[in-house]
Amino acid sequence: MSILNYGSAVTAPTVGTDLGLFFTNNGTRSSTLFTTTSGVLTAGATIVPGSGYSLNGSTAFCEQLATSGNGIGATFKITTVPSVGALAVGANLLFKNDAFNNNITIRVTATGDPITATTTAIAGVSANGTAASFTLTSFNGLIDKCTVVALGTGYIQGEIISFTKTAIEAGFGAGNVTNLPTGGVLKVVLREGDVTGSIQSVEIMEAGTGYAAADTITLQEIGSSSVGTGTITVDSISGGMVASTDQKRYPIGIMFGTPGMTGAAPATTGTIEFKQLDDTQVVIGGITTGKILPFTFKEITGAGTTLVTLADTTIFYK
């Protein structure tokens, strides 16, 4: 059978993937697997509040960070409330004045060369929050930056976090901290925006497509560097899974290698394993490169051995 008798071709198929494609009735492959009313979200969902969202104005816009299903394209507007005190990862915290004005420095020794470096993740001490971690950065010996690297829990706006001389020196791996204020600690204070919010309610802005009931979607605030951990579990969807104007088609032929290939005789040990449309398994051996094998199937379940390289394989549709 000539290649010209086939309507479309796809190279490098993937093992274990449903190979059905949607084509419009005129034979052209559809640009999307679903119509805009297929598998979209509707109101009604179970919310896990999570953390990692801004509190500015108590609203935020979110997109899908991950999903347990195959849906894409949904966006959401959420209302937020103060979370369980998770910090915003990547936030640069404000040094408390009495610490910063003392010009806290890190040197190789008490009077040695200044260090320019960033610490490993270190813990801070606070009255309420726990389990967050931070890095301190020094330039020419002056410690001038404190960054959140793990969000922790229980922190509140206005809270002071302290770092001991021992923790700072251990974080830099060497050196001697000088000019610490009274109390012997470096202090930072949490401002608005350093403590994140959690989800109180969700409004669907764009319904997306391809979702199914019980899919769990993790929401990421658009434009934020903080990773959102809140989720919604889809209660229901509208529309069917197949577009009314499209037709799902499966491969009717497969070719290994390039037409007209020459070389060693095909190896009879070369095999490929298929799943037919009724889900029965078929194993075909004696594969010949450069020849089209006319065969209807829905999935390649095993690539076999000699001569069967899926990167050099083409499947055909009509």
Domain count, the chain: 3
pTM reported for the whole predicted model: 0.53
Residue 168, helix vs strand vs coil: helix
Whether 73 and 16 map to the same domain: the answer is no
CA distance readout (Å), 294 to 53, 109, 254, 315: 54, 77, 7, 10
Determine what percent of the chain is predicted with pLDDT higher than 70.
80
Whether 185 and 108 map to the same domain: the answer is yes
Nearest to 104 by CA among 186, 40, 49: 186
Whether 161 and 24 map to the same domain: the answer is no
Q: Looking at residue 23, what is its pLDDT?
A: 64
pLDDT at 186 over 80: yes
Whether 163 and 100 map to the same domain: the answer is yes
Q: Regarding predicted confidence, which is higher, 43 or 131?
A: 131
* Weakest mean pLDDT among 52-61, 83-92, 239-248, 288-297: 239-248
pLDDT at 308 over 80: no
Residue spans of alpha helices (H) in 156-257: 165-172
Q: Looking at residue 219, what is its pLDDT?
A: 94
Helix (H) or strand (E) holding 20: none
Q: What is the pLDDT of residues 137-164, one digit of tens each?
A: 999 999 999 999 998 988 988 899 999 9
Q: Any residues with CB less than 8 A from the CB of 31 and at least 6 apart, and which?
A: none
Q: What is the pLDDT of residues 271-285, one digit of tens each?
A: 788 888 888 888 887
Whether 157 and 295 map to the same domain: the answer is no
pLDDT at 88 over 70: yes
Question: Of 209, 238, 267, at which residue does a domain stop?
Answer: 238
Which domain covers residue 25, as residue numbers?
A: 3-32+246-317
Task: Give the 3-state secondary structure percentages of the chain, helix then strand then coil, rounded to 5.
Answer: 5, 45, 50
**DSSP of 62-107:** EEEEEESSS-B--EEEEEEEEEEEEE-TTPBPEEPHHHHTTT-EEE
pLDDT at 190 over 90: yes
pLDDT at 240 over 60: no
Instruction: Label residue 31 by pLDDT band (50, 70, 90).
Output: very low
Q: What is the pLDDT of residues 262-271, one digit of tens each?
A: 444 444 456 7
Q: Rounded to an integer, what is the distance from CA 239 to the centroid of its chain?
A: 27
- Mean pLDDT, residues 110-119 taken together: 92
Residue 215 lies in a domain: yes
